[in-house]
Chains A and B, each alone.
Chain A
Amino acid sequence: MKFTLSWLREHLETTATVDQIAEALTDMGLEVEEIVDPAAKLGSFTLARVEHAEQHPDADRLRVCRVMTDEGEKQIVCGAPNARAGITVVLAKPGDYVPGLDVTLSVGKIRGVESHGMMASEREMELSDEHDGIIELPSGEVGQRYVDWLAQNAPDKIDPMIDIAITPNRPDALGVHGIARDLAARGLGVLKPVKQANVTAGFDCPISVTIADEVAAKAPFFAGRMVRGIKNGPSPEWLRKRLTAIGLRPINTLVDITNYFTFDLNRPLHVFDAARVSGNLTLRGARAGEELVALDDKTYALPEGAVVICDDKGVESIAGIMGGAASGAQDDTVDVFIEAAYFDPIATATAGRALKINSDARYRFERGIDPAFTLHGLDLATQMVLDLCGGEASTVVTAGQMPQPDRAYRLDPARTTRLIGMDIPEDQQRATLEALGFRLEGDMAHVPSWRPDVLGEADLIEEIARIVSLSKLQGKPLARPQAGVPKPVLTPLQMRERTARRMAASLGYNECVTYSFIDQPSAALFGGGQDAVRVENPISSEMSHLRPDLLPGLLAAAARNQARGAADLALFEMGPVFTGGEPGDQAMRITGLLVGHNAVRDPYGSRRKVDLYDAKADVEAILQAIGAPAKAQINRKLDVWWHPGRAGNIALGPNVLATFGEVHPRVLREMGVKGPAVAFTVNLAAVPFPKTRTTTRPALDAAGLQAVDRDFAFVVDPKVEALTLVNAAAGADKALIQSVSVFDQFTGLEDGRKSIAITVRLQPRDKTLTDADIEAVAAKVIEKVQKATGGTLRA
């Protein structure tokens, strides 16, 4: 919402400066976004008089002038045709910044003649586009500041423009009068009342209006009247200037008047050329297939049910949004029909959205204009038409009932104080509301008709708070809920997330945060991409579906990094994945991705390609860190984006805690990632939480007797899994065998079989083991392994 200071002063008697006004507006919730103050750039320029001007010796079009300034006579070379002795000019001295040229002056030599400054044109001062010559002032003294002269003689030229952001609850501030009301309530001046019109009706309005029942709720009230015998054409300069100052283009007097009322009093109007209206006007719902060429010369398919204003020929205007081109006022309009109506905010918003028309009228109607001002506004507009265009006004025709909103809420001054935490005396609270137009009856505050947003007691408190000023609010301590050391607040899952994240980082992974939505083909590769997780209005096709997994985002990140030349990557992300489109269809995961090599090249040969055992080590470290049980199964019931032979799930029965392994080569190809690539994913919530919480550690089991290690090597079929072998060996004597671990594997045997070497640690409890004891256990280990795997002890 833009306005100028002089415009504001039509509604507010004030001596406040632009800065004071701007500060108050922002403080009251009408946030100033921009102030354009033409005077701000002109402070250094002073008036001077040309004493003498003569032809430049070396240039036809230049003159050498002797100019009297506040610092004495100076020589200035000037190219303006009107530079001559005797005129009063605007002087820019060396060191001054000239806004229109974007240059800081210095003493110069022009064709061999020194010049100590310049005499400015309006364009150089950024006051207008005028550049035919330098400014000649009809009055003024040498040395007087140019801004002071302007303020006295041509304030329009330096009228500051203020642009404020209007929150959706403040339709009343979409007119300059409403802004003035807030400022007056704040104490920055006195609000001038809206003028009364004095229109005499000379004839009966020949156009009648009806509102069809079907739209009675959407268009409760319509008023209009004809003014005949007018002369349209360009509007007067003051009006054109006002509109231009806030960025509107003057069209003709009638249209300019409607725009003026929109911004001045927040009273949108429409003007029909009565000669182009056939018969009477009817408000009804648009029917399927109807179209209108609107004032912007675009053809709109009208949404069924939207309120339209029709004559005998058909639709002429879309209520509260935009008029039609055919019946709009033209330069040659002689008889005008002025419409002032009240349309329902929701109906206007719905129609406006469907039409995708953003007009000043729609903007106001959908926020809610003052219904009580309809007839008064029509009268004032009529008055201005009569004043500017002449003619004769008809009687007013109306249809429907003007809404008479009368809501009242109880003002509880004690509650205001309690809620805000600032002592505001009751009489100040009441006075504030009254200044805003509320009518107080006892403790009931009646809401003014221009404030559709005030819908409860809390709104009264807000009005008081913002006018009294929240910037005066002093903080008051908020005590802890319980005195003393605060308790921990994180849930076990939240703690687990922190732990897993920091563990992943300490394992060397860089944390990424990627978008929750990805492209459909990528989602489909990971079992997602269904309609249920589709975003109906995505910002691009790259972000159309909620991600079913964290891997696609990381793979895409890997591909981007590879394109930038980073070949070795360790990336991870912790975040939600989406299993469906309902609230709650989401799960917290952590996924890590290793691509390329494990390390840079070094003198020790550390560098090798990453493989699934890297991913496995990392996932085991994270699982251990978050308290997963040490003994879990590994199965191969894999999702399709994993390599079918080189990946595994870590599971407790059917409950999959984590997956690790190589990413399916086809997925890598589709996602443009150069392998090798291994990954892991932990389903954080799937890991069981401890049932009871205790700080007591299990007692240390430090046996007094020395443990004995025995190594075995078994030859087994190539697809026998090491874990089967280890579990079989461990089962040989559960009391004595403390651990079994694989320490070697050899796959190159001639019959295609492989050798797996394990070490079995025996921990005696009550007596030292004899050779016979050890042999007995060893025999049992061999027997168990043989039975479980068909393997034989390697010779």
Chain B
Amino acid sequence: MDDLTPLRQLWLDRINSATDPAAIEEVRLAALGKKGEISLKMRELGKMTPEERQTIGRSLNELRDEIDAALRARKLSLEDAALEARLAEEWLDVTLPGRPRPRGTIHPISQVTEEITEIFADMGFAVAEGPQVESDWYNFDALNIAPEHPARQEHDTFFMHREPGDDRPPHVLRTHTSPVQIRAMQDQGAPIRVIAPGRVYRMDMDQTHTPMFHQIEGLAIGRDISMAQLKWTLEEFCRAFFEVDEVELRFRASHFPFTEPSAEVDIRCSWEGGQLKVGQGDSWLEILGSGMVHPHVLRSAGINPDEWQGFAFGIGIDRLAMLKYGIPDLRAFFESDLRWLRNYGFAAGDTPSLSGGLSA
């Protein structure tokens, strides 16, 4: 068998001069295909002596492997070159806008309600609900607001129509979320811890009032739940809700028929450039009303006030949203102006959590 060097050079040259994948394939068939030159040479090995076969066989195998590798390498490099050429051609204006995808929003009231719920859920408060058309018993009498008491007049109540002949007192649109206290205690008895967020209604409409707004009621009844624990609970709530390290609350005596003692609660704050800062400063801002549940209320709900005691509070959700997020006008909450919804709304993915932060 003669020297394979010229053969090797011949094929390597042919491989290198191939300029496209089809030419490479042609070379491959001519060299390594069934009737390729190298394949044919290998077939001739059978006719050789074992000694010849051993030396020439090895050389041929090496040649075949080398050519094969060269073919693959050349093919890859040609493909790369083709890809480069294509990529050089393929150019799009990446500054054009992406395909439009609408961006929805969550209303601040929903968002803040979820924030509040997260905090109180961690303290063991469940979420109770009640009807918005309420009987006057649940809305007033059960809550120690007697029919002729001036406190009832101060509620600016919306009354529902009564058919002639129906002698029941007219139902009302609930003026507060407090009737849910009664319903929840009737359902679950004591001990109990619930919050009750929802719509409430008062006949009032001016710069700072809307005839519908949102409250969240809180109720905790136990054997020895005290006003001091109410204060701690509200402190913890405010600290978590306003996302500050320290808060200072001030309890001012007040009067609500359904709690006794009653307190209005102020929070220490400052206003800088219209922005509220909680926990510092020289101003006090009234944020909620609260107190120890009146024995009459417990009795109305079938709970013995000699055995059970606890606290209740009511917070304006809309107002908390305004304070926390710097939203100026209550009336705009209910006007559904798209510009407002987009500006003050929250992204669908902004689910408040305690682990990730309420507004993070």
**Which of A27-35, A135-143, A380-388 sits within the interface?**
A27-35
Residues from chain A with a CB closer than 8 A to the CB of B32 are: none
Chain B interface size range? 35 or more
* Interface flag for B133 (CB, 8 Å): yes
Chain A neighbourhood of B335, CB < 8 A: 557, 560
B231 CB within 8 Å of chain A:
yes
CA of A506 to CA of B159 in the docked complex: distance in angstroms? 38
| Least CB separation from A502: chain B residue | B348
Q: Chain A 442-460, CB within 8 Å of chain B: the 1/0 string?
A: 0000000000000011110
A536 lies within 8 A of B341 (CB): no
Contacts of B220 in A (CB 8 A): 478
B28 within 8 A of A: no
* The one of A169, A504, A516, A533 that contacts B201, using a Cβ cutoff of 8 Å: A516
Task: Considering the complex, give the chain A residue whose CB is closest to the CB of B121.
Answer: A489
Q: Is the CB of B106 within 8 A of A502?
A: yes
Given contacts A29-B255, A31-B254, A539-B203, contact A606 B232 (CB under 8 A): no
- Chain B residues closer than 8 Å to A570, beta-carbon distance: 102, 104
Q: Are A531 and B161 neighbours in the complex by a CB distance under 8 Å?
A: yes
CB neighbours (8 Å) of A561 from chain B are 336-338
Residue B33 at the A interface, CB < 8 A?
no
The CA-CA distance from A282 to B335 in the complex, in Å, is: 57
Chain B positions within 8 Å of A466 at CB level: 253, 261
**B99: Cβ under 8 A from any A Cβ:** yes
A471 adjacent to chain B (CB < 8 Å): yes
Residues on the A chain within 8 Å of B232, using CB: 475-478
Bound: A566/B262 CA distance, A = 48
Residues in B with CB closer than 8 Å to A43 are: none
Q: Does A112 contact B (CB under 8 A)?
A: no
C-beta contact mask, B111-155 vs A, less than 8 Å → 1, else 0?
000100100011111110101111100100000000011110110
Q: How many Cβ-Cβ contacts under 8 Å join chain A to chain B?
A: 284
Determine if A38 is an interface residue (Cβ-Cβ < 8 Å): no
Cross-chain contact B161 with A475 (CB below 8 angstroms): no
Q: Is B188 an interface residue (CB 8 A)?
A: no
A489 & B127 in contact (Cβ 8 Å cutoff): yes
Within 8 A of A (CB), among B309-360: 309, 333-339, 341-342, 345, 347-349, 351
A86 at the interface (CB under 8 A from B): no
Q: Whole-angstrom distance between the alpha carbons of A456 and B100 in the complex? A: 66
Instruction: Contact check, B253 vs A465: say whether CB atoms are below 8 A apart.
Output: yes
Mask for A478-494, Cβ within 8 A of B = 1, else 0?
Answer: 10111000101111001
Q: Which residues of chain A are near B342, meaning CB under 8 Å?
A: 510
Question: Contacts of A582 on B, CB cut-off 8 Å?
Answer: 133, 171
Rounded to whole Å, the gap between the CB of A35 and the closest CB of chain B is 15
A side interface size, CB within 8 A = 106
| Residues B148 and A345 in contact, CB atoms below 8 Å apart | yes
When chains A and B are docked, how far (Å) is the Cα of A255 from the Cα of B148? 30
CB of A673 within 8 Å of the partner chain: no
Distance of B194 from chain A, by nearest CB (Å): 9
* Set of chain B residues within 8 Å of A498, measured between Cβ atoms: 114
Complex: chain B residue closest to A601, CB-CB:
B100
CB of B260 within 8 Å of the partner chain:
yes
Task: Compute how far the CA of A569 lies from the CA of B342 in the bound complex, rounded to whole angstroms.
Answer: 12
Interface membership of B267, Cβ < 8 A: no
Q: Judge if A688 is at the interface, Cβ distance under 8 Å.
A: no
Return A404 CB to nearest CB of chain B, in Å.
22
Pick out which of these stretches binds chain A: B50-58, B60-68, B222-230.
B222-230
Q: With A and B bound together, what is the CA distance between A498 and B153 in angstroms?
A: 36
Asked whether A536 and B132 contact (CB < 8 A) given A475-B229, A482-B124, A502-B348, the answer is no
Interface contact B336-A560, CB-CB below 8 Å: yes
Task: Let me know if A505 and B201 touch, CB within 8 A.
Answer: no
Interchain CB contact under 8 A, A474 and B228: yes
Which residues of A157-194 have CB atoms within 8 Å of chain B's CB atoms?
167-170
Interchain CB contact under 8 A, B110 and A501: yes
Looking at the assembled complex, report how far the CB atom of A348 sits from the nearest CB atom of chain B, in whole angstroms: 9
A-B contact pairs, 8 of them (CB 8 A): A366-B150, A419-B227, A502-B348, A508-B101, A512-B107, A514-B336, A557-B336, A566-B339
Q: Which residues of A contact B (CB under 8 A)?
A: 26-29, 31, 167-170, 345-346, 349-350, 353, 366-367, 418-422, 456-459, 461-462, 465-466, 469-471, 473-478, 480-482, 486, 488-491, 494, 498, 501-517, 531-540, 543, 546, 553-554, 557, 560-561, 564, 566, 569-572, 574-576, 578, 581-586, 598-600, 602-604, 606-607
Given contacts A458-B294, A461-B261, A510-B105, 8 further A-B contacts (CB under 8 A): A29-B262, A419-B226, A459-B260, A475-B235, A478-B229, A478-B233, A494-B129, A539-B158
Report, nearest first, the 3 A-B pairs whose CB atoms are least far apart. Answer: A508-B102, A421-B228, A421-B226
